[in-house]
Amino acid sequence: MRCKVLMTVTDLCESCKINEMNVVEESDDPNQPYKLCDQCHKRLLKRSLRPIEWYNLAVIHSPKKFLLHDDFYEEDGEACQPEEDVIVNKKDKAPTLRDVRNDLESLLDFSITRWFLEEDVIKELKKYDTLTTLNYVKSRFYETNNYEVKSRLLEIAADVLGTSASAWVRELWKNYDEEFLYPLSWATASSLPTEEGLHNIFEQLKGTSEKELPIAAFTCLYRFRSSNVLDWMESTCTIFNDNWGRLAAVCFPTWERMKSWLKNGRPLSLIALDTMANCVKGYGDIYVQQFSPKILGTDKSKVDQVLNDYFQKDDVPRVKMKLTRILENKKEIFE
Ligand SMILES: [Zn+2]
């Protein structure tokens, strides 16, 4: 057996990567303290890190940790409320996407330091061979215990790797960790066959409370855009909630389905009205709007009559308000 002492090399400060580390500072994650030199430690506590120091820490700890988050630093690592002057020389600048895009490891570092995984980074990641990227993503995932970093790697699986991540995603379901339900759901939507993916997620959602279910369901399921989700909603929705209409709108709802939900009464009838209203630009949110949802297969000559018939049975102000909005925007909603 090798002696541990022999294996120890001097650790460098996680922030400047130049000095030896000699301070351990607690972070929000008790399992992952900051390991720093004295100077960087002081600068961290005074929200006065240089951009490259912020960046190096964000690669390891994510930019979402309290001492690194966006109240204190811009996305290029510039301190916004430093308690002491920050002198930034050229060598202290954080890398830009241009600087890192030709090296996959550096590009993955960069992607971890972003608050959101945006299209420009996804586009650069897609230029690499997916199996090579998958191997790097997996090894980073298992190397760290950091929740945000792991989640970002799953987002990369979702947005960049697609079906080439399917074996890995199956492995993650086998060793399911509920902490990662959301990002794992996104990776599942892009990598596994719809029925298999939905089955896994529906099973997990069974344990969710009635109050939490609508937002959890939206977050896990919106990327599937599957009519199977609408079938599931019919047997699952017990209360009205805004998230049900958001979810239904992106799952290719048909006019036939909307009519049957209206006939069914509350809560499905209210969800149907919300589903239709969510097809109007400026009503839904960015997640819904990016898909430009429509109600499909509509018999347009019947819309007014069907909606007015419903109002006869449920003539409350909020129904009236929603009907007005739908009827005013019929062209945009129905196809
Ligand atoms: Zn340092």
- Tokens matching residue 318: 């909020």
Domain boundaries, position 250: 221-335
- Ligand 1: centre distance to CA 291 (Å): 45
The reply to whether 237 falls in a domain is yes
The reply to whether 205 falls in a domain is no
Give the residue from 155, 171, 84 showing the smallest Cα distance to 114.
155
- Ligand 1: centre distance to CA 139 (Å): 26
The reply to whether 27 falls in a domain is no
The reply to whether 301 falls in a domain is yes
Q: What would the pLDDT profile of 8-30 be if each residue is shown by its tens digit?
A: 567 999 999 999 999 999 999 99
Question: Is pLDDT above 70 for 244?
Answer: yes
CA distance 201 to 310: 34
- Ligand 1: centre distance to CA 108 (Å): 22
Q: What would the pLDDT profile of 36-63 be if each residue is shown by its tens digit?
A: 999 999 999 999 999 999 999 999 999 9
Question: Is pLDDT above 60 for 2?
Answer: no
In total, how many domains does the chain have? 1
- Ligand 1: centre distance to CA 254 (Å): 59
Share of the chain above pLDDT 90, in %: 95
Q: What region, left, alpha or beta, does residue 240 occupy, with left being phi > 0 and alpha being psi -120 to 50 degrees?
A: beta
Give the residue from 151, 180, 62 showing the smallest Cα distance to 114.
62
- Ligand 1: centre distance to CA 33 (Å): 14
Which ranges of 223-316 would DSSP assign to H, the alpha helix?
Answer: 227-236, 242-249, 255-264, 268-277, 286-289, 303-313
The reply to whether 145 falls in a domain is no
The reply to whether 288 falls in a domain is yes
Which chain residues have CB less than 5 Å from ligand 1, an ion?
A: 13, 15-16, 19, 37, 40
Q: What would the pLDDT profile of 58-88 be if each residue is shown by its tens digit?
A: 999 999 999 999 999 999 999 999 999 999 9
The reply to whether 332 falls in a domain is yes
The reply to whether 285 falls in a domain is yes
- pLDDT, residue 9, reads 62
- Ligand 1: centre distance to CA 36 (Å): 5
Using a CB cutoff of 8 Å and minimum separation of 24, what contacts does 320-324 make?
322/273, 322/274, 322/277, 323/273
- Ligand 1: centre distance to CA 66 (Å): 19
Question: Is pLDDT above 90 for 96?
Answer: yes
